[in-house]
């Protein structure tokens, strides 16, 4: 995959030997890398020298990986930046929290650098496949959404949706498995100059779930952050 090799990856890790090892293996595969050793530095770098992916260690001094992850996800500009979290085995509950807070994948320490590179490539491929902006229709189990015709059908039957409900559904379908914060959804659907509160998003998600019962289980509420559409279509 030629397009992958010029991608830039930010490695956020305070243990220099691990950071260097990851850098070495990624660069051997043609990736470009930048290293940050603190959360503050990583956030600064993300602003000034935007990477294509962040490899984020959970255990960092001062600001930890979860907090950094949350900050990245909360800013619309960086909300969809791919994040691969590095965790230690002993922190399995944190691992789950990491995914809940918006990491796209995780690798537990100690890890083989080769395996890490494989996971990085797999994540890039997964995101490229599902987030193609040229997509104009989405199929999610019995739900078919045609963006150009502004139609949502369940088992071939049209479900009348308001423009905002349709917009929300579009955002979720474009980014399956990824956490979208209320702010991000608000900006994408209502626009930056909308004065409503993030509660508006909750109200519309609830309506969407009432109109399309399949979504009741499929749209997952992520504690204190926002929503994500389950990658797996719930079985009825």
Strand order in the sheet with 219-222: 180-181, 226-229, 219-222
List the structure tokens of 169. Answer: 């559904």
Q: Rounded to the nearest whole angstrom, what is the least distance from the CB of residue 91 to Ca ion in the complex? A: 11
- CA–CA dist 168, 162 (Å, integer): 10
For the CB of residue 161, give the shortest distance to Ca ion in the complex, in Å. 45
Determine if 59 is a binding residue for Ca ion (CB under 5 A). yes
Query: Of 125, 98, 233, 85, which Cα lies nearest the Cα of 172?
Result: 233
> Per rule CB under 5 A, is residue 57 in the interface with Ca ion?
yes
Helix (H, G, I), strand (E, B) or coil at 144: strand
Count residues near Ca ion (CB under 5 A): 4
Site residues for Ca ion, 116-155, by CB under 5 A, read: none
Q: Which is nearer to Ca ion, 63 or 233 (CB)?
A: 63
Q: Which is nearer to Ca ion, 71 or 211 (CB)?
A: 71
Shortest gap between Cβ of 164 and Ca ion (angstroms)?
42
Measured from the CB atom, is 80 or 103 closer to Ca ion? 103
Q: Which of residues 6-35 bind Ca ion (CB under 5 A)?
A: 14-15
- Least distance between Ca ion and beta carbon 60 (Å): 5
d(CA 113, CA 55): 12
Q: Distance between CA atoms of 209 and 26, rounded to whole angstroms?
A: 42
CA-angle at 113, arms to 123 and 65, nearest 5°: 65
The residue among 14 and 105 lying less far from Ca ion, judged by its C-beta, is: 14
Binding to Ca ion by residue 217, rule CB under 5 A? no
Residues that bind Ca ion (CB under 5 A): 14-15, 57, 59
């Amino acid at each position: 995959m030629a397009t992958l090799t010029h991608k830039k990856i930010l490695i956020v890790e305070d243990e220099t030997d691990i950071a260097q090892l990851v850098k070495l293996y990624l660069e051997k595969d043609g990736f470009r890398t930048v290293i940050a050793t603190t959360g503050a530095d990583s956030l600064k770098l993300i602003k000034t020298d935007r990477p294509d992916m962040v490899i984020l260690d959970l255990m960092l001094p001062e600001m930890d990986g979860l907090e950094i992850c949350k900050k990245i996800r909360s800013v619309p500009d960086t909300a969809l930046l791919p994040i691969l979290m590095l965790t230690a085995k002993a922190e399995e509950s944190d691992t789950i929290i990491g995914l809940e807070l918006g990491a796209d994948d995780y690798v537990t320490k100690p890890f083989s650098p080769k395996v890490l590179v494989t996971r990085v490539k797999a994540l890039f491929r997964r995101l490229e496949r599902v987030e193609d902006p040229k997509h104009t229709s989405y199929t999610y189990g019995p739900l078919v959404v045609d963006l150009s015709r502004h139609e949502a059908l369940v088992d071939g039957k049209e479900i009348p949706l308001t423009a905002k409900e349709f917009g929300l559904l579009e955002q979720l379908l474009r980014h399956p498995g990824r956490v979208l914060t209320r702010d991000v959804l608000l900006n994408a659907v209502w626009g930056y100059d909308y004065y409503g509160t993030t509660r508006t998003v909750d109200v519309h998600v609830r309506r969407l779930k009432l109109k399309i019962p399949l979504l009741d289980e499929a749209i997952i509420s992520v504690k204190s952050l926002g929503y994500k559409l389950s990658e797996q279509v719930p079985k009825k």
